[in-house]
Structure 1
């Protein structure tokens, strides 16, 4: 293993994708329609472990800014690492959702953390694209799906808002939160679809991304799955909340629209899933080396499956329910494989590498 100071010096925000992947697996286990006491306890353990990891990562990254400030700020100019700022609020969102699920008695804390997460998400969703426009250099040929990471943050906290709303009484404040979540959804999903359009053009003109970025294609499922999940969660609460404000017709419309649009989004997601599988298969024939980018598999697939499970429960479809449950089992196995490889990489010290630091040293 590397020396502690070197771990801190090379610590980058892409480590927070571990929180995203671990958190979504905990939520999947707790959302399973065939959940057993074992799955419930395993989900709780994973959620608690995820909190420990999140705190550890926050400490390590804060120490990097404290002791290696000049090197840490190079991330603002780097053409890929800045996108991983989005992993921080998304990792926190999985913890907030788990707090509501496993410790509903601490709802006030969940509301506070959600407010903090909204500020983080909006800052990242707007700030990182501004860095792209002003300080960074980009080309269509080198563009990948990681462009989505900062943008997707707003819809992730919107879906977390839907989880919170299920535990709040119908009131004017709840209505404001509901509409605010729809605004967050709009400032994320629509720009994300614009990025997906650019990604499709990039794939058509410059072929598949290189092997080390092959897993990143799965990130396309993130905004699609989270977009569907947010509409389902918010739409499910809309009739109850808006009825108290004499807007019951609007609430019913939001509910039915959420179900209808989620079907369309899931179909779109299946298309991108096929593209991602083809990309991974194509590169696997020549060999795929493990890196932290493999965590790009778990969260997008996880939120996509959470949307399937929620939709199945709302329309009471047993077939869709079993499809979602089977998919969840595959995701849990995938998470276990990636986690084992990550632990091995941590022990060997091979995963602690800061591209923005290397770029700065090469220019020196």
Structure 2
């Protein structure tokens, strides 16, 4: 997710150059490589050790990160549209479209199933809640934004219409639920103070649904502006249904951007009050800040506004530098082998110990 959003930011930088384009292509290729390698590793892990999947899906924290899979794939889909479609032609459009349908289905699954697991299986307290609850919920919001990007490149107006409508539904499944979680999370912060320093970086995660949700509305509104009149969709007396969605989408995006500023302040103020060690949670910096930056640059493009364009450029450079820092730290820690940690394995070890005790006890009784 973090690597993919950096490639997108550099490709769509308001003040761009050919050298930045090729850097974005290199990072895009790196993102595809990382995604495929870790997907293969994950498949092998759960195929060889299926018992790990069971304890992972029931773990109250680790299971939430399943939502990062469709979000990481969405960054690849977007760059296929930006880079591969102009270079390879129509077949690349339908490659992106097919991947998007798969991504949308997985996003819906994570948004529906994992929050239900919190209600039905996990035993949680308000003091132990983190913003990681947003991860499976943000997935359909990211898919909605990606749907707007893909729809803009589809040649068939009817296919565009289907994609836009489904994307609005995806937006509706994710954003309202994310707002509900933000209310609960705000209550948790006010009643139980800041999260532990090991997960303090999670305070940036609320920027994800606000930034990506705003961008999705602007992108879908832009596509509806040109598609609805062609497909005779929502034929109203004024004949301006697409324009209404475009303007309302921009207005809502601006409101969500302003709400994002509040959470950006909370996040920056929180990390200044805590000294936290480097861990995998540092990747929580990059994607939320990245999608908030995407919303910023899109506002600058649609207005148009030099203020938002300059601010988006500054944010893009900061996110890129932050990505370099986090990526460098990740490589260093991975070499020494003290970075990767699977908390669900403790539950598996506990079950194995209970099984051994039960077996020994049964053996004594039988003797």
The residue number in structure 2 matching 1:82 is 63
The residue number in structure 1 matching 2:358 is none
The residue number in structure 2 matching 1:13 is none
In structure 2, C-alpha distance between the alignment counterparts of 1:83 and 1:151, rounded to whole Å: 9
- Superposed displacement of residue 170, structure 1: 5.9
For structure 2, the residue ranges without an aligned partner over 5 or more in a row are 354-367
Is this contact kept in 2: 1:170–1:240, CA < 8 A?
Answer: no
The residue number in structure 2 matching 1:264 is 255
The residue number in structure 2 matching 1:225 is 211
- Superposed displacement of residue 107, structure 1: 0.8
Is this contact kept in 2: 1:30–1:40, CA < 8 A?
Answer: yes
In structure 2, C-alpha distance between the alignment counterparts of 1:259 and 1:334, rounded to whole Å: 29
Is this contact kept in 2: 1:141–1:202, CA < 8 A?
Answer: yes
Equivalent of 1:45 in 26, 51, 59: 26
In structure 2, C-alpha distance between the alignment counterparts of 1:41 and 1:134, rounded to whole Å: 48
The residue number in structure 1 matching 2:321 is 333
For structure 1, the residue ranges without an aligned partner over 5 or more in a row are 1-19
Secondary structure of 1:351 counterpart? coil
The residue number in structure 2 matching 1:305 is 293
In structure 1, C-alpha distance between the alignment counterparts of 2:220 and 2:52, rounded to whole Å: 42
In structure 2, C-alpha distance between the alignment counterparts of 1:186 and 1:256, rounded to whole Å: 18
The residue number in structure 2 matching 1:28 is 9
- Over alpha carbons, which structure has the higher Rg? 2
Q: Are 2:75 and 1:94 aligned?
A: yes
The residue number in structure 2 matching 1:9 is none
Q: Are 2:91 and 1:103 aligned?
A: no
TM-score, L = length of structure 1: 0.92
- Superposed displacement of residue 281, structure 1: 0.7
Equivalent of 2:38 in 57, 61, 71: 57
**1:80-229 equivalences in 2 (<5 Å):** 80-104=61-85, 105=89, 106-169=92-155, 171-229=157-215
Secondary structure of 1:103 counterpart? helix
How many residue pairs get matched?
A: 342
Which structure is higher in RCO with an 8 Å CA cutoff and minimum separation 6? 1
In structure 1, C-alpha distance between the alignment counterparts of 2:347 and 2:196, rounded to whole Å: 19
Residue deviations 1:176-203, cap 9 Å, x none?
A: 2211111100100000000000000000
- Superposed displacement of residue 76, structure 1: 1.8
Is this contact kept in 2: 1:170–1:244, CA < 8 A?
Answer: no
The residue number in structure 1 matching 2:311 is 323
In structure 2, C-alpha distance between the alignment counterparts of 1:39 and 1:231, rounded to whole Å: 27
Is this contact kept in 1: 2:286–2:323, CA < 8 A?
Answer: yes
Secondary structure of 1:34 counterpart? coil
Is this contact kept in 2: 1:170–1:241, CA < 8 A?
Answer: no
Secondary structure of 1:233 counterpart? helix
In structure 1, C-alpha distance between the alignment counterparts of 2:348 and 2:271, rounded to whole Å: 31
The residue number in structure 2 matching 1:8 is none
Residue deviations 1:245-298, cap 9 Å, x none?
A: 2344110000001111111100000000000001111013xxx11111111110
In structure 2, C-alpha distance between the alignment counterparts of 1:69 and 1:169, rounded to whole Å: 43
Secondary structure of 1:282 counterpart? coil
- Superposed displacement of residue 359, structure 1: 2.8
The residue number in structure 2 matching 1:274 is 265
In structure 1, C-alpha distance between the alignment counterparts of 2:347 and 2:281, rounded to whole Å: 19
Residue deviations 1:198-256, cap 9 Å, x none?
A: 00000011000000111001001000001001001001111100011234411000000
In structure 2, C-alpha distance between the alignment counterparts of 1:153 and 1:274, rounded to whole Å: 24
The residue number in structure 2 matching 1:12 is none
